[in-house]
Amino acid sequence: MKEVKSLTSYETFDATKLKLVLEKIASRASECEHDPEGPKVEFQWLNECGALAAVLPGGEMDFNKSHTGQLLKLLKDIGKANLSVGRIFEGHINALYLIHLFAEQEQREKWYTEVRDFGYLFGVWNTQTNDGILFTENERFLKIEGSKTFCSGATLVDRALITGNISLLHRTGWQMAIIDMKQIDRSKIDRESWKTLGMKASGSYKVDFSGYEIYEEELLSIPGFYLRQPYFSGGAIRFAAVQLGGAEAIATHTLAYLKNLDRTSDPIQQLRISNMMAQLVSGRMWLDRAATHYDTWANSAAEDEALIAFANMTRVSIEDICLKIMEESNRCVGARGLMHPYPLERIFRDLSFYLRQPAPDATRLKVAEFFINNNSAFNE
């Protein structure tokens, strides 16, 4: 991948400011869940410390460099502070990565500048039902018909990367486009569509894009590239990092709860704490190795299958780790610890829901298939 040079100067990522921002995000998480505007102020804070632009050319986690480990830690830390904020931030990173991979230089300049200079928040919305997206041809432009569901940060995102079917003489297939959400009337965002167990603050509403007029320069790459491997499946390590952050929050709050009640001398509780911390460290090791493999293999076509397999293993392993940490915590704190105002009540709901990612069983079968066909895989 050709390196994209820095386009302009901007405030660089500040780790010290980030730490303070994460503390503020965590302290406001319960309030945020019931805020009609969602985590709006949280993303203002993340922008102020340079996090929104950190992956752009010249940034602390520049996609042109081997910084996947730092990026996964950032995602984990934000997820630990607030899983809903982590989910929206992960969508922002995904959108910028697809722009990095597939955009034309002029498009990059425009969209990168919007992040750097104006703090624009991006998102990726691919999920749809039977009224999904269709790009239709008009005399001077294309028009969109249809909706997307699970649009995380729907009321906050400035630029939404959506996908849909296109059938033109020179374009046929599953097309990416980047939409100016300022042109979408608020009435097109269905707030009643997001009545859920957890992740309420993510505001993952259904959005109707029907009637939106889209021009050629808003189309990203050619049809089919959204699903291009190894990037499509390999990206699972990013949402897994956010999920592990939620599990880390559970472990941290569980230990604090037990200390507050002076129950850490109980040997049974000590066993549970040991089990939780072993799982947490295991999750961090999965992320560390996944980052190393991603940086080594992502641009080597010969390693595509191995990269996808390891990303899939990381995803399902961290799901198991999160569930085990939740189970141990549940036994540690009992009913009272899972009641409001203790934060575990909300984090349990958020993580339980966020772990429900598409096709977990099929993902495990793909891992098995890889090892069946590659006997010497990952020999080091």
For the chain, the domains span 15-123, 125-225, 231-373
pLDDT at 5: 46
DSSP-assigned letter for residue 11: P
Is the pLDDT at 26 greater than 80? The verdict is yes
Q: Rounded to an integer, what distance in angstroms lies between the CA atom of residue 205 and that of residue 160?
A: 13
What three-state secondary structure class fits 101?
helix
Q: Which residue type is seen at 334?
A: G
Average pLDDT rounded to a whole number, residues 50-63: 96
Structure tokens at 369: 């298939």
Is the pLDDT at 31 greater than 90? The verdict is yes
**To the nearest whole percent, how much of the chain has pLDDT over 70?**
96
Is the pLDDT at 377 greater than 70? The verdict is no
Q: Mind listing the pLDDT tens digit for each residue in 274-296?
A: 999 999 999 999 999 999 999 99
Handedness of CA 338, 343, 344, 347 (dihedral sign): positive
**How confident is the prediction for the chain on average, in pLDDT?**
94
Average pLDDT rounded to a whole number, residues 68-75: 98
125-225 sits in which CATH class? Answer: mainly beta
Find the range with the poorest average confidence among 24-38, 299-313, 364-378: 364-378
Is the pLDDT at 11 greater than 60? The verdict is no
Q: Rounded to an integer, what distance in angstroms lies between the CA atom of residue 47 and that of residue 12?
A: 10
Decide: 206 and 148 in contact? Cβ < 8 Å. yes
Is the pLDDT at 133 greater than 60? The verdict is yes
Q: Mind listing the pLDDT tens digit for each residue in 228-264?
A: 999 999 999 999 999 999 999 999 999 999 999 999 9
Decide: 218 and 142 in contact? Cβ < 8 Å. no
Average pLDDT rounded to a whole number, residues 122-151: 93
pLDDT at 379: 66
231-373 sits in which CATH class? Answer: mainly alpha
Is the pLDDT at 9 greater than 60? The verdict is no
Superfamily classification of domain 15-123: Acyl-CoA dehydrogenase/oxidase, N-terminal domain (1.10.540.10)
Q: Rounded to an integer, what distance in angstroms lies between the CA atom of residue 376 and that of residue 284?
A: 25
pLDDT at 299: 84
Is the pLDDT at 69 greater than 60? The verdict is yes
Structure tokens at 86: 């982590």
**To the nearest whole percent, how much of the chain has pLDDT over 90?**
89
Conformational region of residue 267, where left means phi above 0, alpha means psi within -120 to 50, and beta covers everything else: alpha
More confident residue, 302 or 27: 27
Is the pLDDT at 312 greater than 70? The verdict is yes
* Sequence-distant (≥ 6) Cβ neighbours of residue 196 within 8 angstroms: 204, 353
Structure tokens at 222: 């050619």
H helices of the chain, in order, are: 15-27, 29-33, 40-48, 68-81, 83-102, 105-118, 231-234, 236-260, 267-297, 304-337, 344-354, 360-373
Phi, psi of 172 (to 5 degrees): -140, 130
Banded pLDDT at 7 (limits 50, 70, 90)? very low
Is the pLDDT at 360 greater than 50? The verdict is yes
CB atoms near residue 137 (< 10 Å): 12
pLDDT at 376: 65
Q: Mind listing the pLDDT tens digit for each residue in 315-348?
A: 999 999 999 999 999 999 999 999 988 999 999 9
Phi, psi of 181 (to 5 degrees): -70, -15
pLDDT at 320: 98
